Amino acid sequence: MQRIRLRYTKRGRLRFTSHRDFQRAFERALRRAEVPMAYSAGFTPHPKVSYANAAPTGTGSEAEYLEIALTEARDPDKLRELLDESLPAGLDIVDAVEARTPGLADRLTASVWELRLDGVDPEEAGRAVAAFEAAETVEVERQTKKGMRAFDARSAVVSLGLSPETHSLRADRPTDQPCAILRLVVRHVTPAVRPDDVLSGLRAVADLAPPVPAAVTRLAQGPIDAGTGTVTDPLAPDREAAPLLETAAAAATAPAPEGSA
């Protein structure tokens, strides 16, 4: 069984698709592309697809990940092209590697988010960010299945800053009004701290309230470098392992030198 790991995006209006919507679209794409999927056992077999840490509905993303299991080997790049052609524009498969190391989900320990605040003056946003970062704790509330829950939104935030860009090329709603772009790096903890929770925290500490909902895009997710605070590529270990495994396989199949015992 071959396992392929894919990175996909949610862009433009497709950011409003739910995770369930994407699952249905992706399974249709698998059938259209005639991918030789492995299926689970039991009375209701389903394709072996593992999704990892999907972005909330309404947020865009450049870095969503999943893994599929195949019954026949396929070239990852060609498979990526076939699947991308079978999905609607906005749900784009942008990277594919063969899984050669364990624990993809365990590597997704942090995310980088871009928060576009239309109608917010950058100086006002900068003061709110400074107040947030200066606070030891920032308590916010979120409605859950078990009712309203309060938790600290500050401890999971690695960094929060004002982007020098006044307009984002990734933004879905360009405007002539003042606009602040925030860059947020947040660890994946329990309970999860989402961009909306950080926005609630900015409102709590500095009364920052954008006149329209923020346009939120996940730019990256993966392991976090403890020294620099940057989020790195979670598929890099699979790419790095490929030449090592190929070299080992070639050595194992090479004919023994003459005269060896």
Contact 26, 92 (CB under 8 A): no
| Per-residue model confidence (pLDDT) at position 255 | 64
Of 105, 137, 166, the position where a domain reaches its end is: 105
More confident residue, 160 or 172: 160
Quick check: is 244 in a domain? no
Specify the pLDDT at position 258. 62
Q: Are residues 66 and 127 in the same domain?
A: no
- In a shared domain, residues 119 and 148: yes
From 64, 79, 105, the end of a domain falls on 105
Give 165 or 210, the one with higher predicted confidence.
210
Give burial (CB, 10 Å; 0-12/13-18/19+) of 60. buried
Of 127-136, 138-147, 243-252, where does mean pLDDT reach its minimum? 243-252
1 against 246, higher pLDDT: 1
Q: What percent of the chain has pLDDT over 90?
A: 79
In this predicted model, what pLDDT tens digit does every residue of 22-39 receive, in sequence order?
A: 999 999 999 999 999 999
Interval 125-154 mean pLDDT: 93
**pLDDT at res. 101:** 95
Q: What are phi and psi of 59, to 5 degrees?
A: -105, 145
53 plus 82 within the same structural domain: yes
| Residue 129 within any structural domain of the chain | yes
For the chain, give the longest Cα–Cα distance. Answer: 81
- Are 116 and 128 in a shared domain? yes
Give me the chain's average pLDDT, please: 90
Give 221-224's long-range contacts (Cβ < 8 A, gap of 24+): 221/53, 221/63, 221/65, 221/108, 221/110, 221/111, 221/112, 221/188, 222/63, 222/107, 222/108, 222/109, 222/110, 223/107, 223/108, 223/109, 223/110, 224/109, 224/110, 224/158, 224/185, 224/187
Q: Give how many domains the chain has, as a whole number.
A: 2
75 burial via Cβ count (<10 Å: 0-12, 13-18, 19+): exposed
Residue 73 sits in the same domain as residue 18: yes
Whether residues 18 and 74 fall in one domain: yes
Q: Is residue 253 part of a domain?
A: no
Q: Where are the alpha helices (DSSP H) in 158-206?
A: 195-206
Choose the weakest-confidence range: 93-102, 157-166, 215-224: 157-166
Q: Do residues 222 and 7 lie in contact, with contact meaning Cβ atoms separated by under 8 Å? A: no
Token code pair at residue 254: 């090479």
Between CA 7 and CA 64 the distance in angstroms is 5
CATH classification at residue 124: 3.30.70
The one-letter code for the residue type at 178 is P
CATH code for position 56: 3.30.70.580
**Beta pairing partners, 66:** 6, 51
Same domain? 182 vs 145: yes
Residues 100 and 180 in one domain: no
Asked if the structure places residue 248 within a domain, the reply is no
The answer to whether the bond into 191 is cis (omega within 30° of 0) is yes
Domain housing 206: 108-222
For residue 256, being part of any structural domain is answered with no
pLDDT, tens only, 200-213: 999 999 999 999 99
Last residue of a domain, one of 105, 126, 161: 105
